[in-house]
Amino acid sequence: MQRRSFLRNTGLTLAGLGLLNKETLASFLADPAWKIRMLTDDIGVFSEKGGTIAFLLTKKGIVVVDSQFPDTAPHLIEELKKKSEKPFRYLINTHHHGDHTAGNISFKDIVEHVVAHENSKANQLRVATEQKTAPEKVLAPDITFGADGWKQKMGKETVRTYYFGAGHTNGDSIIHFEHGNIVHLGDLLFNRRHPYVDKGSGASIANWIVLLDKAIATFDKNTQFVCGHAAEGNDVLTKAEDLKAFGDYLGNVLKFTESEIKAGKTKEEIVKATAIPGSPEWKGGGIERPLGAAYTELTSK
């Protein structure tokens, strides 16, 4: 990661650096590309490449949510070993995409269980077959759950997963650390960044909007939401209002695409748009992805 975008991604500005003491500043500038940020005494996030990772440290062991890539997961593992001597108990995958599960393999032999929604596991294995990934590079979940989710007590913390149907894929779950009141949304929230909508893995923009409303209703005003990806200059740590804003954005994507279809535009013409009316804060590249997915969704009904 470039230093400039790294500074922005970690929410640190040069002005902010002025507030740090010399020692901290020196260690920061000598920093490796990865960043760990504690949100509570025992829950933190790790950022390097790919989807944001969350972790929980307890007397009963360590829980990790998502694993990035085989070249970045070992950085997280080493850092967590410095923080805790307890075993890695659970690795939970929010969904199957490679930037969230390719690093699973780094946890082979050190984590007791890998947990995910049953569709996430099916997608992971299907993609591994399609891409002819060597079996020794894939670590699939050994614990799966369906619509009822999964729950595990870990010391004073309770880890619970929710499944609200198809969104970004058909296998995304939401992980709640109940005591710390921190939620990992995986890729169900792209903060001010055009999302990838994986129609090939059963994504649904229409249900994604419903799902975000369910999430807002399930958690509360004080919940901190960790998301997989944010646009440069935006945080991966978000609030309920950001979920609402993303739901509105998805609604605007469908509305705009529908009106363009009615106006007789082709898919190729529609995806050339430069902005989604009503959601000007979503900038940068990748606009053709949600528009193309919306076209597919609206014309396949």
Burial class (CB in 10 A: 0-12, 13-18, 19+), 138: middle
Residue 260 or 282: which CB sits closer to Zn ion? 282
CB of 198 to Zn ion, least distance (A): 7
Selected range binding Zn ion among 70-78, 126-134, 226-234, 286-294, rule: CB under 5 A: 226-234
CA–CA gap between residue 56 and residue 91 (Å, rounded): 10
The answer to the question of residue 51 lying near Zn ion (CB under 5 A) is yes
CB of 21 to Zn ion, least distance (A): 35
Residue 154 or 243: which CB sits closer to Zn ion? 243
Q: Which of residues 104-163 bind Zn ion (CB under 5 A)?
A: none
CB of 93 to Zn ion, least distance (A): 10
The answer to the question of residue 103 lying near Zn ion (CB under 5 A) is no
The answer to the question of residue 48 lying near Zn ion (CB under 5 A) is no
The answer to the question of residue 167 lying near Zn ion (CB under 5 A) is no
For 237-240, which contacts have Cβ atoms below 8 Å and span 24 or more sequence positions? 237/39, 237/45, 238/189, 238/191, 240/216
Whether 201 and 296 have beta carbons less than 8 Å apart is answered as no
Burial class (CB in 10 A: 0-12, 13-18, 19+), 253: buried
CA–CA gap between residue 60 and residue 156 (Å, rounded): 9
Residue 228 or 251: which CB sits closer to Zn ion? 228
The answer to the question of residue 228 lying near Zn ion (CB under 5 A) is yes
CB of 204 to Zn ion, least distance (A): 14
CB of 66 to Zn ion, least distance (A): 8
CA distances from 43 to 35, 191, 251 (A): 14, 21, 33
Residue 1 or 261: which CB sits closer to Zn ion? 1
Residue 168 or 176: which CB sits closer to Zn ion? 168
The answer to the question of residue 99 lying near Zn ion (CB under 5 A) is yes
CB of 158 to Zn ion, least distance (A): 26
Residues with Cβ within 8 Å of 29's Cβ and at least 6 positions away in sequence, in order, are: none
CA–CA gap between residue 134 and residue 137 (Å, rounded): 6
Residues with Cβ within 8 Å of 281's Cβ and at least 6 positions away in sequence, in order, are: 192, 245
Q: How far is CA 93 from the centre of its chain?
A: 9
Residue 264 or 285: which CB sits closer to Zn ion? 285
**For Zn ion, how many residues bind (rule: CB under 5 A)?**
5
| Contact code string over 170-199 relative to Zn ion, x by CB under 5 A | -----------------x------------
CB of 39 to Zn ion, least distance (A): 20
Residues with Cβ within 8 Å of 128's Cβ and at least 6 positions away in sequence, in order, are: 135, 138
Residue 89 or 121: which CB sits closer to Zn ion? 121
CB of 96 to Zn ion, least distance (A): 8
Q: Is 238 left (phi over 0), alpha (psi -120 to 50) or beta?
A: beta
Q: Which of residues 254-293 bind Zn ion (CB under 5 A)?
A: none
CA–CA gap between residue 248 and residue 253 (Å, rounded): 9
Kindly list the residues in this chain that would bind Zn ion in the complex (CB under 5 A).
51, 97, 99, 187, 228
